[in-house]
């Protein structure tokens, strides 16, 4: 959704991409975007363009003014895995057990698009051209959580967060979530269940299966804040001003 343009864009299981003007609820354009399901969407360039990632393995860029395809990256996500049932790791998405198994994140200031599917490393593409830039994260172990301050955050090795600079793909910093709480024993395996990006604060909220909520930034100057929740969380959402957080499970609101 692009609030600046009152624009809502959604994708369907039959490969359609539909954009609505939310002021009058009229359809702006309908595009046959993919031969498989639309798995991830991101509105970019102030609402004039949209990126889509589909079950056909392609990353495509569309003009929402004309409906024309601006570029297509074939095999941006692997077709060798089941894209309808596996997990991947931020705009309120699940890190485990998710049905939305392709992710698409954008760092506007570096004009970089990041994509990932299960079992893959995180791939970086040029926002304007679709040119392949670099890969980050260990294949089969990495889960992209989101972007912060010109970096992409990748989870690996259970609880290790690594921030890579979007402009270069080089590692910026690392932190282990378990080292910031005394709740876990040294042998405990931390399992994240969902993640939420707070763009106004430029922070990530990460929930674990142990009912712990982590607040993460990539500045390295402030401690990682930890809060205990009433129970395990499977989704997170925040109000537009980011002053109210909604956390819930598949069966209840926490």
The per-residue pLDDT for range 104-155, each reduced to its tens digit, is 899 998 999 999 887 788 999 999 999 999 999 887 788 899 898 899 999 9
Exposure of 242 by Cβ count < 10 A (0-12 exposed, 13-18 middle, 19+ buried)?
Answer: middle
pTM value is 0.83
- Indicate whether 168 pLDDT > 50: yes
Instruction: For residue 117, count CB atoms less than 10 angstroms from its CB and return exposed for 0-12, middle for 13-18, buried for 19 or more.
Output: buried
> Which tokens hold the place of 177?
């979530």
- E runs forming strands in 108-241: 112-116, 122-126, 132-136, 143-148, 151-156, 160-165, 171-176, 192-198, 203-208, 212-216, 225-228, 235-238
Highest mean pLDDT among 134-138, 140-144, 192-196, 219-223: 134-138
pLDDT digits (tens, 9 = 90+) for 34-52: 998 999 999 999 899 999 9
pLDDT at 253 over 60: no
Structure confidence at residue 82 (pLDDT): 46
Query: Mean of the pLDDT values across residues 165-184?
Result: 80
For residue 56, the number of C-alpha atoms closer than 13 Å in the C-beta half-sphere is 17
Average pLDDT over residues 234-253: 82
Using pLDDT thresholds of 50, 70 and 90, give the confidence band for residue 240.
confident
The two three-digit tokens of residue 162, written as one number = 């690594």
Is the per-residue pLDDT at 195 higher than 80? yes
In b/e form, how buried is each residue of 16-25, taking b as 16+ CB within 10 angstroms?
A: ebbbbeeeee
CATH code for residues 1-76: 2.40.10.480
Order across the sheet with 103-107: list the strands: 103-107, 112-116, 122-126, 132-136
Nearest one of 105, 4, 102, 112 to 53, comparing CA atoms:
102
Residue owning tokens 């932190």: 175
């Amino acid at each position: 959704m692009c609030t600046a343009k009152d624009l809502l864009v959604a994708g369907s299981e039959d490969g359609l991409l539909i954009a609505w003007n939310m002021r009058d609820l009229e359809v702006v354009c309908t595009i046959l975007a993919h031969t498989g399901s639309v798995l991830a969407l991101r509105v970019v360039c102030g609402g004039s363009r949209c990126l889509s990632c589909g079950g056909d393995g392609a990353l495509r860029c569309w003009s929402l003014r004309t409906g024309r395809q601006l570029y297509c990256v074939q095999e941006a996500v692997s077709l060798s895995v089941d894209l309808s049932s596996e997990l991947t790791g931020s705009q309120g998405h699940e890190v485990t057990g998710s049905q939305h198994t392709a992710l698409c994140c954008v760092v506007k200031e570096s004009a970089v698009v990041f994509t990932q599917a299960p079992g893959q490393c995180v791939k970086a593409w040029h926002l304007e051209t679709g040119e392949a830039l670099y890969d980050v994260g260990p294949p089969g172990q990495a889960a992209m959580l989101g972007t912060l301050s010109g970096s992409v955050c990748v989870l690996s090795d259970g609880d290790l967060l690594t921030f890579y600079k979007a402009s270069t793909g080089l590692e910026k910093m690392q932190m282990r979530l378990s080292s910031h709480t005394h709740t876990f024993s040294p042998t405990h395996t931390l399992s994240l269940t969902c993640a939420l990006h707070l763009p106004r604060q430029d922070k990530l909220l990460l929930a674990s299966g142990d009912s712990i909520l982590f607040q993460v930034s990539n500045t390295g100057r402030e401690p990682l804040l930890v809060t205990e929740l009433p129970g395990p969380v499977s989704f997170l959402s925040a109000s537009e001003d980011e002053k109210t957080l909604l956390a819930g499970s598949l069966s209840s609101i926490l």
